[in-house]
């Protein structure tokens, strides 16, 4: 079924084993980093994962409820320093409060409770909806939507359209519904279904825009959850990749001709990224193509890692590295149904 993924194997070198022991990783993970980045950059990456304080949070202003300049002024009065994110609409990087002892956290300000903004742990989740090219009247499917950050961003962009926000986890959907109510967003339809079977459930319904941010190993978020250093062995990672292929394929069968979809993960593992995209291109053949996003200021996908070769078009995808871009590790790929 997934020939590229099944063939992937990493025999850890002595250097990989030494670094894995020093930083507490599974050796195969470090071996990958060495092959993708080299020794010096691998150490920079491992050190970045040890420093979560270097990764600033981000917010998306709810311009439906508040003028964004007013929100910025109110947060600055609380001691926060905000910088516009040039590639994401109405979005801002947030530095720590000037006086943390006397400032509310970003998730407990009056402005947050009134629904004036959505809070992201870092900027990387803003990348997929920013490259999807959403218009005011877009009708969008978010296949794996909870807890809702991407759905909310897209709903605010498509003010005259709507978002179908699906997730297999009913408990996780509670967070999405809570955010929608807090922010008074009314152009989202919430559904609870297995994304792998959405095409069978929705039948002939087609979408012009689809977001497929799949459940993944979260290997790019080790700085926020150090247990990810050892949690996933290679066999388990391959099973996760197979599930991601099924979710992406089921979603793409609902993409209209000429429509765009984004596949994304908060992972830096090639098994979940370049390998999954390569397999999907094999499944859909000439009916699907990878296109270069208009916004791309980050690294590109990696078509070859030593003797492992992926589809060369993965080079059009986006790779975000914590040590280079001060975000969580992330991957995003823009696709068009021909």
What is the value of pTM for the model shown? Answer: 0.96
Do 106 and 59 contact (CB within 8 A), yes or no? Answer: yes
Q: How far apart are CA 128 and CA 268, in angstroms?
A: 15
216 included as an active-site residue: no
Per residue in 190-202, pLDDT (tens digit) is: 999 999 999 888 8
What is the pLDDT confidence band of residue 97, given thresholds at 50, 70 and 90? low
220 φ/ψ angles, rounded to the nearest 5 degrees: -80, -10
Beta bridge partners of 213: 264
* pLDDT score at 1: 45
Q: What is the mean pLDDT of residues 48-60?
A: 96
- pLDDT-wise least confident of 70-74, 95-99, 264-268, 309-313: 95-99
- In whole angstroms, give the CA distance from residue 250 to residue 287: 15
Domains of the chain: residue spans and CATH: 3-53 (no CATH), 56-120 (3.30.70.1170), 124-337 (3.40.50.150)
Residue with tokens 């066999």: 235
CA 232 to chain centre: 19
Q: Is the pLDDT of residue 151 over 80?
A: yes
Cα 68 to Cα 91: distance, rounded to the nearest angstrom = 9
Mean residue pLDDT across the chain = 95
Average pLDDT for residues 267-284, to the nearest whole number?
97
**Are 34 and 13 in contact, with CB atoms under 8 Å apart?**
yes
Q: How high is the pLDDT of residue 100?
A: 58
| Mean pLDDT, range 241-265, rounded to an integer | 97
- By the 10 Å C-beta count (0-12 exposed, 13-18 middle, 19+ buried), 48 is classed as buried
Cα separations in angstroms, 255 against 15, 208, 291: 45, 6, 15
- What pLDDT score does 103 carry? 73
pLDDT digits (tens, 9 = 90+) for 223-232: 999 999 999 9
Provide the 3-class DSSP secondary structure of residue 245: helix
Residues 70-84: tens digit of each pLDDT = 999 999 999 999 999
Q: What is the DSSP string of 164-232?
A: EEE-S-HHHHHHHHHHHHHTT--SEEEE---GGGHHHHHTT--EEEEEEE-----GGGTTT-GGGGTS-
* Options 61, 68, 216, 266, the catalytic residue: 266
The rounded percent of the chain whose pLDDT value lies above 70 is: 97
For residue 298 the two structure tokens come to 């980050």
Q: At what angle do helices 27-37 and 39-49 cross, to 10 degrees?
A: 130
Residue 156 confidence (pLDDT) above 70: yes
User: DSSP label at 221?
Assistant: G
pLDDT at 4 over 90: no
Q: What digits encode the pLDDT tens for the residues 282-306? A: 999 999 999 999 998 999 999 999 8
């Amino acid at each position: 079924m997934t020939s590229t993924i099944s063939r992937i194997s990493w025999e850890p070198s002595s250097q990989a084993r030494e670094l894995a022991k020093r930083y507490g990783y599974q050796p195969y993970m470090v071996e990958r980093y060495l092959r993708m980045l080299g020794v010096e950059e691998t150490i920079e990456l491992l050190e970045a994962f040890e420093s979560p304080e270097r990764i600033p949070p981000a917010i998306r202003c709810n311009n439906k409820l508040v003028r964004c300049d007013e929100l910025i002024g109110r947060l600055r009065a609380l001691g926060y320093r905000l910088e516009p994110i040039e590639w994401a609409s109405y979005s801002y990087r947030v530095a720590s409060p000037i006086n943390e002892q006397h400032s509310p956290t970003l998730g407990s300000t009056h402005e947050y409770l009134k629904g004036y903004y959505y809070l992201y742990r870092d900027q990387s989740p803003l990348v997929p909806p920013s490259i999807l090219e959403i218009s005011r009247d877009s009708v969008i499917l978010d296949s794996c939507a909870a807890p809702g950050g991407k759905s909310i961003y897209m709903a605010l962009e498509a003010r005259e359209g709507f978002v179908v926000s699906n997730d297999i986890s009913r408990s996780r959907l509670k967070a999405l519904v809570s955010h929608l109510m807090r922010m008074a967003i009314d152009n989202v339809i919430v559904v609870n279904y297995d994304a792998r079977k959405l095409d069978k459930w929705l039948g002939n319904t087609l979408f012009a825009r689809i977001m497929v941010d799949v459940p993944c190993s979260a290997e790019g978020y080790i700085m926020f959850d150090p247990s990810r250093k050892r949690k996933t062995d290679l066999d388990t990672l391959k099973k996760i990749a197979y599930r991601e292929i099924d979710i992406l394929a089921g979603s793409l069968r609902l993409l209209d001709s000429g429509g765009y979809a984004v596949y994304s993960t908060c992972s830096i593992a090639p098994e979940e990224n370049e390998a999954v995209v390569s397999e999907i291109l094999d499944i859909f053949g000439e009916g699907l193509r990878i296109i270069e996003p208009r916004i791309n200021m980050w690294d590109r996908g990696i078509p070859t890692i030593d003797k492992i070769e992926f589809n060369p078009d993965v080079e059009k995808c986006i790779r975000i590295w914590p040590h280079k871009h001060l975000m969580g590790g992330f991957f995003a790929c823009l696709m068009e149904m021909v």
